[in-house]
Amino acid sequence: MAKTRLELVNQALSNLGVLAAGQTAAAEDIASVDAFVDGLLRRLALNDIVHIGSANEIDEEYFHPVAILLADAAKAEFGGGAFDTVAAEGELRRLTRAGPTYERLQAEYF
- In a domain, residue 49? The reply is yes
Assess contact for 19 and 13: CB atoms under 8 A. Answer: yes
Write down the pTM of the prediction.
0.82
- Domain range for 74 is 5-96
- In a domain, residue 47? The reply is yes
58-107: pLDDT as tens digits = 999 999 999 999 999 999 888 777 888 899 888 988 888 877 878 888 88
How far apart, in Å, are the Cα atoms of 37 and each of 55, 71, 110?
A: 8, 10, 51
- In a domain, residue 110? The reply is no
User: In which band, very low, low, confident or very high, does the pLDDT at 44 lie, cut at 50, 70 and 90?
Assistant: very high
- In a domain, residue 101? The reply is no
Residues 7, 16: Cα–Cα separation, whole Å: 14
The β-bridge partners of 3 are 58
Domain count, the chain: 1
Judged on CB neighbours under 10 Å (0-12, 13-18, 19+), 14 is middle
Report DSSP state, residue 56. Answer: T
- In a domain, residue 104? The reply is no
- In a domain, residue 108? The reply is no
